[in-house]
Structure 1
Amino acid sequence: MHWKETLPDWYVKEYGYQPCVNIGTAGHVDHGKTTLIQTLTGVWTSAHSEELKRGITIRVGYADAAFYKCKNCETPLGYSVTPKCNNCGKESELTRVVSFVDSPGHESLMANMLSGSALIDGAMLVIAANEKVPQPQTKEHLLALQTLGIKQIVLVQNKVDLVSYEDAMTNYSDIVKFVKGTNAAKAPIIPISAHSKLNVDALIEAIESSVTTPKRDESKSTILHVLRSFDVNKPGAKVKDMKGGVIGGSITQGTFKVGDEIEIKPGLPNEKTGKYEPINTEIASLGTGA
């Protein structure tokens, strides 16, 4: 059953059939960011052929997850990503739907991570328990979160199943030292194994308590931060035969409807003036989803 089929009336009235908060993943390459998102959402976000071949995330990926809480169980045992409680088997209540933005961890792909971070309301900084703290991209991504003013952060100590208890505690202490004096200094540190789904309920509880749902002002002029675009025209198509393009991103204020006239900035470069000129066009269709 898809989470859209489980949405209560109050949620649909407030947010429609879409997530209400964007949470990014950050951290060093191969520390388990994409595996963690798959555990939470069931979606493997590194679907591009080059990503599958190289085993790393190159493009920013998206996936949505619904969080549920069982009123019959103590926290964090009552939290799950399914309508039925994993602890007692009874029906759980939806808390909210979250959109995850999976950012690349490789140093040469830092620009993609930064463009993804511009859309997020909070972040999970994933740190592997079986490697020294901090790794290069761990430092860079935390600095990026600092620069962007992201203060709602959950620290995820992943791969604890690969180390001894003593080594996990040493790694935990190193994480505490690493984030001292940063936006993540007071962030919860949740030890998990994304691969075996260990302690995922505690992670969901930490996300629910640490990352609040932002207020979106639908009365303001609409702003969409574009993260990716697609050319749907056939190669060599004449101007009169062009269908337009597809853009994807996140609306931070206002609303769109089919037929609205929009301005895309910075647009295209003017070779004569050396400046960019905005593109003015009309919305032909709208959709939501990862």
Structure 2
Amino acid sequence: MATMLNGAAVMDAALLLIAGNETCPQPQTSEHLAAIQIMKLKNILILQNKIDLIKESAALEQHEQILKFIKNTVADGAPVIPISAQLKYNIDAINEYICKRIPVPVRDFSSDPKLIVIRSFDVNKPGADVASLKGGVAGGSILCGVLKLGDEIEVRPGLVTKDADGKVKCRPIFSRIITLLAENNELKFAVPGGLIGVGTKIDPTICRADRLVGQVLGAVGKLPAIYTEIEINFFLLRQLLGVKSTDGKKQTKVEKLAKNEVLLANIGSTSCGCRVLSVKADLAKIQLTTPACTEVDEKVALSRRIDKHWRLIGWGKITRGTTIDPDV
């Protein structure tokens, strides 16, 4: 679930994939639809997959289940396209709908560049010669502004450490853009929209195995503040999605937030643990276990540990918080 929320932070539209050989909705389907609603994605396409494995009557029956499931939700009225990914049936219809029916959002090219990192890599092969080593690569989507080859960049929060007194310190990473890639295409500059790979001079061990996920990359000195505590205006779901009560008949209700409770917070592409410091009506003060580079009005998804799984329980919006100054 956390992975899906991290990816949804940079999406303009959503494809909700439903297996045709299973009843609808499955627990994960309910959670993903709720996540789409949290991220306020308006352009939604529902794909009824694996229709090659079922009879026509079963496909029609599930189609009715899907329509009932999405009624009065953000996906109400979204087209349902029967497909077979294995046989590539109706894939052309999906492509046509995306190209012709989903509008390209208005992009901001004039603001300072800001990219949310959702992947990071070490592209060097084991045993590579020192002279041929390449810097780490950060992958993500540009939210605003334009990145160009040779630009000086900053990555926040950067390297997070604690001093002898247990106080958190953040040291941003400074580097230069060496390469820009979209798929296999080399670019001289990159604009908002699509996924971009940014080649840098950053130590590749820092970028290895997605270690930069959740960081924000952009122009030096122009990135949002680093928060250790946030105050949010939150909304809880009425019921837990995909979790049955002990009698197995109906979904259990979402319990109210409790002081000192440990939750999982998703802010942009950042997933971090957090502790509830105080709750008053629909306002909560939360301490983050890992500092996050974010800003006021940013969306926050909240998950609670239930039966060894993190389950989505609600979402909120940052109203203010406690920031720390980075060590430069």
What's the TM-score bracket when you normalise by the shorter of the two chains? 0.5 to 0.7
Shift of 1:209: 4.3
**1-structure distance, mates of 2:88, 2:132:** 50
Shift of 1:174: 0.4
In the other structure, the counterpart of 2:103 is 212
Amino acid at match of 2:113: T
Select the residue among 44, 48, 52 that pairs with 1:157: 48
Using a 3 Å threshold, how does the CA distance of structure 1 residues 288 and 202 change in structure 2: closer, same or farther? closer
Shift of 1:186: 1.4
Larger radius of gyration: 2
In the other structure, the counterpart of 1:275 is 169
Moved more, 122-131 or 251-260: 251-260
Contact 1:121 1:211 (C-alpha < 8 Å) held by counterparts: no
Shift of 1:242: 7.7
Q: Are positions 1:114 and 2:5 aligned together?
A: yes
SS of 2:95's partner is helix
Q: TM-score, normalised by structure 2?
A: 0.50
Shift of 1:113: 1.7
In the other structure, the counterpart of 2:28 is 137
**2-structure distance, mates of 1:266, 1:212:** 33
Shift of 1:252: 2.1
**2-structure distance, mates of 1:269, 1:177:** 47
In the other structure, the counterpart of 2:146 is 255
Alignment of 1:36-51 (within 5 A): none
SS of 2:147's partner is coil
Shift of 1:202: 2.6
Using a 3 Å threshold, how does the CA distance of structure 1 residues 159 and 243 change in structure 2: closer, same or farther? closer
Query: What does the per-residue CA deviation read over 1:73-129, in whole Å, with 9 as the maximum and x for residues that have no partner?
Result: xxxxxxxxxxxxxxxxxxxxxxxxxxxxxxxxxxxxx22222111111101101111
In the other structure, the counterpart of 1:107 is none
**2-structure distance, mates of 1:171, 1:134:** 10
SS of 1:244's partner is coil
SS of 1:287's partner is strand
Shift of 1:233: 6.8
**1-structure distance, mates of 2:169, 2:31:** 32
Using a 3 Å threshold, how does the CA distance of structure 1 residues 222 and 128 change in structure 2: closer, same or farther? same
SS of 2:182's partner is coil
Query: Structure 1: which 4+ aligned runs deviate by more than 4 Å?
Result: 232-237, 240-243
CA RMSD of aligned residues (A): 2.6
Query: What does the per-residue CA deviation read over 1:224-283, in whole Å, with 9 as the maximum and x for residues that have no partner?
Result: 11111123578999xx99853111111122111122111112211132231333222221
Amino acid at match of 1:283: I
Using a 3 Å threshold, how does the CA distance of structure 1 residues 270 and 128 change in structure 2: closer, same or farther? same
Shift of 1:208: 3.2
Shift of 1:210: 3.9
SS of 1:286's partner is strand
| Aligned length, in residue pairs | 180
Using a 3 Å threshold, how does the CA distance of structure 1 residues 199 and 230 change in structure 2: closer, same or farther? closer
SS of 1:112's partner is helix
Using a 3 Å threshold, how does the CA distance of structure 1 residues 271 and 115 change in structure 2: closer, same or farther? same
Using a 3 Å threshold, how does the CA distance of structure 1 residues 276 and 235 change in structure 2: closer, same or farther? farther
**1-structure distance, mates of 2:176, 2:83:** 46
Contact 1:224 1:252 (C-alpha < 8 Å) held by counterparts: yes
Shift of 1:214: 1.7
Alignment of 1:1-290 (within 5 A): 110-231=1-122, 243-272=134-163, 273-289=167-183
The structure with more helix, counted as a fraction of residues: 1
Amino acid at match of 1:191: P
SS of 2:148's partner is coil
**2-structure distance, mates of 1:264, 1:236:** 28
SS of 1:219's partner is coil
**1-structure distance, mates of 2:63, 2:139:** 37
**1-structure distance, mates of 2:173, 2:126:** 21
Give percent identity, aligned residues only. 50
Amino acid at match of 1:207: I
Shift of 1:173: 0.5
Unaligned runs of 5+ in 1: 1-109
Shift of 1:197: 2.0
SS of 1:204's partner is helix
SS of 2:31's partner is helix
**1-structure distance, mates of 2:91, 2:18:** 15
SS of 2:104's partner is coil
**1-structure distance, mates of 2:169, 2:34:** 31
Shift of 1:160: 1.4
Amino acid at match of 1:219: S
